């Protein structure tokens, strides 16, 4: 059942394939506190659901922003 929806691209997908920014806790850099603040400015919280493609994109965007900070 495709009953989850990506907040970014609005695509529907299976609930088991949900990604959230919480997975960025496991990155070494940027620190998770920084990551959380960064996404707050984009109005994205820890419980917002994203598909794999969009979370990968956010991963890239946030890493680049961290480097340019």
CA distance 17 to 34: 25
- Least distance in Å: CB of 19 to Zn ion? 9
**Residues whose CB falls within 8 Å of the CB of residue 5, separated by 6 or more in sequence, listed in order:** 11, 12, 13, 49
Instruction: Give whichever of 9 and 42 is closer to Zn ion, judged by the CB atom.
Output: 9
Site for Zn ion in 35-54 (CB under 5 A): 51, 54
- Least distance in Å: CB of 8 to Zn ion? 5
Q: Among 6, 13, 24, 30, indicate the residue that binds Zn ion (CB under 5 A).
A: 6
Cβ–Cβ under 8 Å, residues 58 and 27: no
């Amino acid at each position: 059942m495709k009953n989850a929806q990506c907040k970014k691209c609005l695509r529907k997908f299976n609930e088991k394939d949900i990604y959230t920014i919480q997975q960025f806790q496991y990155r070494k850099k940027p620190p998770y506190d920084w990551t959380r603040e960064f996404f707050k400015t984009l109005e994205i919280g820890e419980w917002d659901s994203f598909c794999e493609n969009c979370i990968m994109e956010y991963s890239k965007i946030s890493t680049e922003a961290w480097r340019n900070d």
